[in-house]
Structures are given as structure tokens and as C-alpha cells.
Amino acid sequence: MHQGQVELIHVCKSFDESIAVDDINLRIKAGSYCCLLGPSGCGKSTTLRLIAGHELASSGQIIIDGHETTHAPPSQRGTAMMFQNYALFPHINCTENVAFALKLRGVAKPERRKRALELLSLVKMQDYGDRMPDQLSGGQQQRVALARALQNEPSVLLLDEPLSALDPFLRIHMRAELRRLQKELGITFIHVTHSQEEALALADQVVVMDHGYISQSGSAREVFRCPDNEFVARFIGGHNVFTGEYQQHDGERISLLGASNQLYQIQGNLHGKPAGQYRFSVRTDHINVTHQADTLSNDNVVNCRVTDSEFHGSYVKLNLKVNDEQIEFNAHIPDHIFQQQHVKNGDQIWAGWDRQHTWLLDSY
Ligand code: ATP
């Protein structure tokens, strides 16, 4: 049976005048991988510390595996925390680091050594038990810290930016290891990150936070494909956000008039109040470009100038601006298509996308 269901009910945390976590409601399924994602200062780490019991909620309830733990000390929550800097004890070796809490609990030496070696094997560090922390690479230290966090058999493992100290190659390798470990153990992992890519790659549930609120919570695909609002669309990356004034609609087919007299065709449900300004997003990989407008068969066509281009390996990122510079957006063109198009910086081109690829955001 999976363990580690976590529920936050109307949880708030203030520090003097500042509100770090503002009335959040969140349910994390037992045995799932959850990433708390958001910009610096949005309240991710505070949320993690509230679940761990390293901070106490100003109001609201925290329920773990059906038990009210809002005011329980960290040791009685069934959680364990892995810190960003790993916090290994420098003067004892890896086996002793992993066994340290067992020693405090009075477990006999042979038994704690056996358990420490089992945990080191789980993170593939069984051959490094006698090494001191400063004789290990960053990635190896992290594995030992993980083994140490697991020695109390937590039902929820809390990870605060666990990959941020690693180089990009190791970060990708270690994130796959974290995912493997989470699946193997069947417990809940809650992982704080700034990185959209990391959250999308790892999480069953992505929780996007902004200014102490939860802006959206859902599967990685839901959050990426169907952002609830402008903040999520911009933060998750790979989306352009456009604005336009309502003109008319026919069922779910809506016309908006944007800056530079640009007419947009989008689709969505206006819920019976069709007036005012609307925002919508279009994914950067859903935009086509060409030198000849008559070769575009899209509902939306924009005449624009290429102001910058960046090679990203499998695609080229184009920065595009309408002449009066009121509209700016990006297109990601697969490299093999880009190479046939001979598009260069400064060219006046046409960009197009279909209304099926527009996503209606909030009105304002
Ligand atoms: P980062 O990614 O930079 O670590 P974060 O999203 O994890 O940011 P938190 O560390 O949770 O953000 O902080 C949220 C807000 O609460 C910030 O404005 C921060 O300054 C404030 N805050 C956090 N801890 C304290 C504290 N002990 N005393 C006062 N304010 C705090």
C-alpha cells in the first residue's frame, strides 16, 4: 500500500508583517511525486517546512496519512527532509552518517551498520561507506544525504532544491535517480524547485506557486497544455501570451482585436459574458513562419520582423516583433524546417497559427 497522503487545508504562514503562505489548499496523493514550482520568494520552501514541522502554520490544518499533524513535532510526522546543501556530518564516514539517527535511538552497532549498508545500496553508494564526505563528489554526497533521510522510513520525503548544486549533466542523471527511487519506495516525494523543466520531467503533480498562493495544481501535461492563467503560461515557459478586445463570436470561435490592429481568431468558452479584453496563449512550437503569406493556411497570420534567433539543437528560437513593436513573441521552429526556410535576423516574415492551438486565459 502506498503511504504519504498529504493534505493542507486553508494553511497560512506569516512572518511579522509578511505573508509567506496565503490560505493554500492542497491534496497530494500517497505514493506520488509532487513538485512545488515557482519564482524566488513565492512560498515553496515555507510550504515544505510547514509540512516538515520546521515551521508552524499561523492557521489551517496539515493532515498526513489521515493524522492531524499541524502542531506535531517533526519527528512525529512520518516525514524526512533532505536539505539543499546535504548537511552531512564532515567528521564521520558515509556509513556512520547514514546510521547516525539509529545510534541516537540506541540501535546496536551491527544492526545499524547493516541498515546503513542497505540504504547505501539503495542509492548505489554501497562501495563508498568508508569514505568521508569531503572525499565524495557533489552527486555522491547527495546520494548519501538521501540514504540518511530515508533511515527513519518516512512516508513523505521532502526535498528542498535537491538538484540545484549539481552541474547540468549530473542534475539530469540525478533527477532520473530520484524518480526511480520514489517509484521503488512507493512513498511520497515533495520536491521544491525553480526549474520548470525539472518539475515537468519528474512530477505526477506540479504545484505552481506565486506570492504565497497556489496558481495552479495538476499533472505536468495539464499545467503545460492548459495553463489556468497568464502567470502560469509565462512561468511554465514555451508559451506566448497575446491580448485582444472582444469583437464577436460564433459558438466557441471568437474574434479579438489586438494591438497594431491585429485580428486574432481563437477558441474557448466565454461563459456568457462576451465583452472586454481577453488574454490567450499560443505555444511557441505551434507557430509556423514563412516569407510568403500565401503559403500559410492558418487562421491567424501576423506580419512581423525577426529580431533575434538562437540555435537550440533540435529547434531554432525566433524572436519576432510586429513593426510598431507593440506585439512581441517567440516561435520554436524545428531545425530541419528552419534550414529550408532561409530566415535571417532583420527579415520581414509571416507567422501563423491555428485557433485550435490557442488557449483562452483569464479575462481582465
Ligand atoms: P526561494 O526559491 O528563493 O527559496 P521560496 O519560494 O522558497 O523562495 P520562501 O523561502 O518560502 O520562498 O519565502 C516566502 C516569503 O516568506 C519570502 O518573502 C521570504 O522573505 C519570507 N520568509 C521566509 N522565511 C522567513 C522568515 N524566517 N522570516 C521572515 N520572512 C520569511
Does ligand 1 come within 6 angstroms of the Cβ of 42? yes
- CA angle in degrees (0–180, nearest 5) for 249-251-256: 25
Give this prediction's pTM.
0.91
Q: Judging by beta carbons within 10 Å of its beta carbon (0-12, 13-18, 19+), is residue 51 exposed, middle or buried? A: buried
Ligand 1 contacts CB of residue 103 (under 6 A):
no
CB 315 within 8 A of CB 278: no
* Cα–ligand 1 centroid distance for 45 (angstroms): 7
The answer on pLDDT for 140 being more than 60 is: yes
Amino acid (1-letter code) at residue 123: V
- pLDDT more than 90, % of the chain: 77
Domains annotated for the chain, with CATH where assigned, are: 6-231 (3.40.50.300), 240-360 (2.40.50.100)
Q: What is the pLDDT of residues 195-251, one digit of tens each?
A: 999 999 999 999 999 999 999 999 999 999 999 999 999 999 999 999 999 999 888
Check whether 272 has a pLDDT greater than 80. no
Residue 55 · residue 72 · CB < 8 Å = no
Q: How high is the pLDDT of residue 256?
A: 95
Query: Residue 176: CB partners within 8 Å, gap ≥ 6?
Result: none
pLDDT tens digits, 31-82: 999 999 999 999 999 999 999 999 999 999 999 999 999 999 998 999 999 8
What digits encode the pLDDT tens for the residues 257-267? 999 999 999 99
For a mutational test of ligand 1's pocket, the pick from 8, 18, 49, i.e. the residue with the most ligand atoms closer than 8 A to its C-beta, is 18
Average per-residue pLDDT in the chain?
92
**Which pLDDT belongs to residue 352?**
96
Rounded CA Rg of the chain: 25
Determine the Cα–Cα distance for residues 28 and 36; give it in Å rounded to an integer. 11
Residue 154 pLDDT = 94
